[in-house]
Amino acid sequence: MKNIRRTVRFAGIAALLLTTVASTASPPSPSAVELAQKGDDPAWAITEGLTTEVGPRQAATDAEAAARRWALTRLTQMGFQNVREEPFMMQTWVRGDEEASLIGPFQPQKLHIAALGNSASTGTKGIDGDIVYFASYDALVAAPDAAVKGKIVFIDHQMKAAQDGSGYGQYGRARFTGPNVAAKKGAIATVIRSIGTDNHRVPHTGGTNFDAGVKPIPAGALSNPDADQLVRQWQRTQATGAASGANPAPLRMKLLLTPRNLGQQRSGNVIAEVSGSDPAASPVIIACHLDSWDLGTGAIDDAAGCGIITAAAKHVMTAGQPRRTIRLLWAGAEEVGVFGGKAYFDAHGKEKHAVAMESDFGADRVWRVDFKLPDSAKALSDRIALAVAPFGVTRGAHPAGGGADVGALIEAGTPAIDLQQDGTRYFDLHHTPDDTLDKVDPVQLRQNVVAWTATLAILANSSDAELP
Amino acid sequence: MKNIRRTVRFAGIAALLLTTVASTASPPSPSAVELAQKGDDPAWAITEGLTTEVGPRQAATDAEAAARRWALTRLTQMGFQNVREEPFMMQTWVRGDEEASLIGPFQPQKLHIAALGNSASTGTKGIDGDIVYFASYDALVAAPDAAVKGKIVFIDHQMKAAQDGSGYGQYGRARFTGPNVAAKKGAIATVIRSIGTDNHRVPHTGGTNFDAGVKPIPAGALSNPDADQLVRQWQRTQATGAASGANPAPLRMKLLLTPRNLGQQRSGNVIAEVSGSDPAASPVIIACHLDSWDLGTGAIDDAAGCGIITAAAKHVMTAGQPRRTIRLLWAGAEEVGVFGGKAYFDAHGKEKHAVAMESDFGADRVWRVDFKLPDSAKALSDRIALAVAPFGVTRGAHPAGGGADVGALIEAGTPAIDLQQDGTRYFDLHHTPDDTLDKVDPVQLRQNVVAWTATLAILANSSDAELP
């Protein structure tokens, strides 16, 4: 009950503030936040439309090109200005066939596996090998080469669901560079426990990277139930070996992964703007990514993010022309190496941006706002914190980090604000076939839009003294 | 709190009763129920072992043969008597490749599909077709042939999770006979929404049946998120058609299913006994099924059932030789047509059985006990109801139906008792790749064993006056 009383009190203050902020619009019109709270929900329409009509849209494929066409049409229909594609070329890797089985010493069983981005191919005949188990990435790093050479390395981890998504950085190393470490030690392939927190037969894909000079090896992720099965069989072979005093019977795997590199292919960023009334003012840039991994329809990653930022910009635009231009970046090719973010920075990095934000952590509620702003923006950040408080968003103590697609801008000094989403469910779905529309909760999606709209309305009307 | 008070009161009465029941064992030894409540849990060991060391075990395949060998070894090791295999031959259908895509009028998208048992093959090149949507099995039945002929029929349904699993009978008709109805109307294939209540990309397989004289057509089940996607695309084509005044653009599907019929193959029942002290007394038969569908490891369907009945029999045996023989039937080939149950009835149907029970509805808690007993067993049923009440089991008002594998016995007049399990989660997992060990809750599994042990201890020591 305490929280409800707090919310009511903050709501009064925030309503006052929002009235002030919205004073550039004609008084009888609803404020941007009122528009976000009621009526149409462009965020849902975009999320539903993109995932239904295009579906999976891996970077630099025909599907991503279809997604860009879809985006250009939709953003134009919605009344945005300067809607355009900014193409770029990129190295492109695509999935092939994928099969894995445990073939001994127990009854053969098929496992659910997905190749990791940049995995090598096993060839069409596949490979057989003995598994060597590592409980963690660190255990693999510490292992002598002799323990790994000629084996199929399995890397386990202990990631748990967390609101802030913590754990992905630490445990994700098994995917990010585990295969590279194993390749350097002479492994013939690497199979990891999916970097995910669910218990469904849906593997989590994602990119892996090999150092220059390291020959890539086949690399895949097992679903969590399949990883559990492998671990149980491994423990049995070890226990049986220990009980008999002999070497444990090898745990055998058959692996077939036939991904291909297609060389340089075309991807692109889609950009749209709400033109500000003051052409001299630096723009606010808000980002999401249009591409998705190929296994799901990319609903939470990141159609919803595009829906959220676009709905917020639309509501601010409808409430009245803002002072600053709002630039929307629907980035291409985030998943496979942030090529869109890099291309944007190459083209626009020298332009002044007032502040950068990104939505790319699903569609569950915003619970915290973080800032990384110049000292001149102290009062601005207070106004934003008060404006989002009624919607259950607390102020964080740490600096904003921004999202991947605006990472280069922030690195170069652009101020940033994060509206942190509840990531408790995020790694149940991330990069899996299960990233589909039904996982998006329309109520929480709208809360995102309201928090974004409240923030964006303030930012887009901020003064040059606050955000140069 | 009311429930807790009730439980405490019943616990006292039940403890009294159980002491009486266990009086055939030497007094200082723990009762069968005490054994079930504490210490080893053979139900978990069986469920874990069978799913780990054998995994999927479709009827009449090498995997089911491996499962029978596993079962014979385990049941012998546990100290049961008359452990044996009773083989039989059966028509055998096996899955091949399976792919489905929505290919127009939108960007092509892959769907997750599983062939239904007895599906015909599309051939290795697959087929393309226009989809026609039916909201229910009844809508398909009502449709004129002209609406179906030459089309790929999609059958939707509205099944919801329920503790008693109700809905499966009604909505399951889409799978049981939907393809048969569609084939008779001239459809080229049938695709159904999985008969399941989850929202994961895991299709639910299961058998379908074609009438004699009806040529089978390809038939598969889409996962629920894939069915949602198909429905959204279908609705868009209809709405666009209606808006334009023209015929809707056809929704196109490409389908590849290459199952094969292997003819007559060997399956078998595994049988074991706790020999009773009175050879003239009719035995209690308790059943589960050893086979599983091929997509998961058959943890809830039905390794857990075999674990539950076997643990209960083991605890009764350990507590002291019962008066009646307890016969365990680990039936083969339940999923694909109850061939094991039929073979048991052919071999043993003329023998007198005191009462039949089966565990085949997952591993979640028992919440109700149902009886179908002769009038002479009124006091017996009261004793059982009181004995299971402390464990949260209430007495039902409807007659017991028994399980599939003892169905023929019950049909022929054998008394039956059902310990009804909570099926709320059951159709999230049933016949999917997700039927894996991690879905079994050890605490609820043990509650099953305790309720079964309490029941079985009473039944196995019942008099001929109560159960002739």
**Which residue of chain A comes nearest to B203, CA vs CA?**
A201
Residue in A201, A236, A238, A295 to test binding to B, most B beta-carbons within 10 Å: A201
Residue spans of the domains in chain A: they are 2-91+263-460, 96-258
Say yes or no to pLDDT of A22 above 50.
no
- What per-residue string of b and e applies to B136-151 under the rule 16 or more CB within 10 Å gives b? bbeebeebeeeebeeb
**Which residue of chain A comes nearest to B201, CA vs CA?**
A434
Is B196 an interface residue toward A (CB < 8 Å)? no
- From the list A348, A340, A238, the residue with the least C-alpha distance to A287 is A340
Q: Are B375 and B415 in contact (CB under 8 A)?
A: no
Separation between Cα atoms, residue A241 and residue B77, nearest integer Å: 21
- From the list A433, A436, A437, the residue with the least C-alpha distance to A95 is A433
Separation between Cα atoms, residue A237 and residue A239, nearest integer Å: 6
The overall average pLDDT reported for chain A is 94
The torsion angle over the Cα atoms of residues A59, A64, A69 and A71, rounded to 10 degrees, is: -70
Inter-CA distances, A444 with A109, A260, A362, Å: 40, 39, 10
| B436·A201 Cβ contact <8 A | yes
Residues in chain B: 468
**Which residue of chain B comes nearest to A296, CA vs CA?**
B201
HEC string of A43-70 equals HHHHHHHHHHHCCCCCCCCHHHHHHHHH
Residues of B in contact with A56 (CB under 8 A): 109-110
> What is the DSSP secondary-structure string of A442-468?
HHHHHHHHHHHHHHHHHHHT--TTT--
Strand order in the sheet with B109-111: B109-111, B98-104, B252-257, B127-134, B152-155, B189-193, B219-222, B113-115
Alpha helices in A160-248 (DSSP H): 168-171, 173-176, 178-184, 224-244
Is A203 an interface residue toward B (CB < 8 Å)? no
Supply the Cα-derived Rg of chain B in whole angstroms: 24
> Residue A29's pLDDT is what?
75
Residues of B in contact with A55 (CB under 8 A): 106-107, 109, 229
- What per-residue string of b and e applies to B104-118 under the rule 16 or more CB within 10 Å gives b? bebbebbbbbbbbbb
Q: How distant is the Cα of B195 from the closest Cα of chain A, in angstroms?
A: 17
Is A97 an interface residue toward B (CB < 8 Å)? no
Residue in A47, A240, A436 to test binding to B, most B beta-carbons within 10 Å: A436
Separation between Cα atoms, residue B294 and residue B306, nearest integer Å: 18
Strand order in the sheet with A326-331: A81-94, A260-274, A326-331, A284-289, A355-358, A416-421, A366-372, A394-395
Is A58 an interface residue toward B (CB < 8 Å)? no
B-facing residues of A in 100-129 (CB < 8 A) are 106-107, 109-110, 112
pLDDT digits (tens, 9 = 90+) for B217-252: 999 999 999 999 999 999 999 998 888 888 899 999
Q: Where are the beta strands (DSSP E) in B97-157?
A: 98-104, 109-111, 113-115, 127-134, 152-155
Q: Do you find a cis peptide bond into B259, omega within 30 degrees of 0?
A: no
pLDDT digits (tens, 9 = 90+) for A396-453: 999 999 999 999 999 999 999 999 999 999 999 999 999 999 999 999 999 999 999 9
Residues of A in contact with B437 (CB under 8 A): 225, 228-229, 232
Structure tokens belonging to residue A350: 């020298």
Q: How distant is the Cα of B305 from the closest Cα of chain A, in angstroms?
A: 20
Given pLDDT bands bounded at 50, 70 and 90, which one contains residue A377? very high
Separation between Cα atoms, residue A28 and residue A44, nearest integer Å: 27
Residues of A in contact with B107 (CB under 8 A): 53-55, 62-63, 66-67
| B436·A225 Cβ contact <8 A | yes
Q: Are B454 and B367 in contact (CB under 8 A)?
A: no
Residues of A in contact with B233 (CB under 8 A): 52-53
> Residue B249's pLDDT is what?
93
For the domain A2-91+263-460, what is the CATH code? 3.40.630.10
Structure tokens belonging to residue B326: 């307890």
The whole-number mean pLDDT for each consecutive block of 10 residues of chain B, a chain of 468 residues, reads 39 45 56 92 97 98 98 98 98 98 98 98 98 98 98 97 94 98 98 98 98 98 98 96 88 98 98 98 98 98 98 98 98 98 98 98 98 98 98 97 97 98 98 98 98 98 96
Size of interface A-B (CB pairs under 8 A): 96
Q: Which residues contact A67 (CB under 8 A, 6 or more apart)?
A: A50, A54, A57, A290, A291, B107
Helix, strand or coil for residue B199? coil
| CB half-sphere exposure, A52, CA atoms < 13 A | 19
Alpha helices in A350-412 (DSSP H): 378-388, 407-411
Q: Are B183 and B213 in contact (CB under 8 A)?
A: no
Q: Where are the beta strands (DSSP E) in A195-343?
A: 219-222, 252-257, 260-274, 284-289, 326-331
| B52·A199 Cβ contact <8 A | no
Is A441 an interface residue toward B (CB < 8 Å)? no
Residues in chain A: 468
Helix (H) or strand (E) holding A91: strand A81-94
Query: Are B2-91+263-460 and B96-258 in the same CATH fold?
Result: no
Out of B63, B106, B224, closest to residue A53 by CB: B106
- From the list B369, B315, B449, B421, the residue with the least C-alpha distance to B10 is B369
Is A254 an interface residue toward B (CB < 8 Å)? no
Q: How distant is the Cα of A147 from the closest Cα of chain B, in angstroms?
A: 26
Q: Where are the beta strands (DSSP E) in A366-433?
A: 366-372, 394-395, 416-421
Inter-CA distances, A131 with A98, A148, A226, B229, B444, Å: 18, 9, 14, 38, 34
Q: Are A64 and A258 in contact (CB under 8 A)?
A: no
Inter-CA distances, B191 with A162, A396, B116, B131, B134, Å: 38, 50, 9, 9, 11
**Which residue of chain A comes nearest to B233, CA vs CA?**
A52
> Residue B28's pLDDT is what?
59
CATH class, B96-258 region: alpha beta
Give me the amino acid identity at A155: I
Separation between Cα atoms, residue B291 and residue B267, nearest integer Å: 9
Residues of B in contact with A109 (CB under 8 A): 55-56, 297
Look up the ipTM and state it.
0.93
Q: Are A106 and A237 in contact (CB under 8 A)?
A: no
Separation between Cα atoms, residue A325 and residue B288, nearest integer Å: 68
Give Dmax over CA atoms of chain A in angstroms: 85
Is A297 an interface residue toward B (CB < 8 Å)? yes
Is B296 an interface residue toward A (CB < 8 Å)? yes
Q: Are B180 and A180 in contact (CB under 8 A)?
A: no
HEC string of B338-400 equals CHHHHHHHHHHCCCCCCEEEECCCCCCCEEEEEEECCHHHHHHHHHHHHHHHHHCCEECCCCC
Say yes or no to pLDDT of A14 above 50.
no
Separation between Cα atoms, residue B303 and residue B270, nearest integer Å: 13
Residues of A in contact with B229 (CB under 8 A): 52, 55, 297, 436-437
Separation between Cα atoms, residue A355 and residue A357, nearest integer Å: 7
Given pLDDT bands bounded at 50, 70 and 90, which one contains residue A244? confident
Q: Are A149 and A185 in contact (CB under 8 A)?
A: yes
| B229·A52 Cβ contact <8 A | yes
DSSP state of A303: I
Q: At what angle do helices A42-53 and A62-77 cross, to 10 degrees?
A: 150
Say yes or no to pLDDT of A323 above 90.
yes
Strand order in the sheet with A189-193: A109-111, A98-104, A252-257, A127-134, A152-155, A189-193, A219-222, A113-115
Is B99 an interface residue toward A (CB < 8 Å)? no
> What is the DSSP secondary-structure string of B39-57?
S--HHHHHHHHHHHHT---
A411 burial class (0-12, 13-18, 19+ CB within 10 angstroms)? exposed
Beta bridge partner(s), residue B289: B331
Across the range A260-277, mean pLDDT stands at: 98
B91 burial class (0-12, 13-18, 19+ CB within 10 angstroms)? middle
Separation between Cα atoms, residue A399 and residue A214, nearest integer Å: 36
Give Dmax over CA atoms of chain B in angstroms: 85
pTM of the model: 0.93
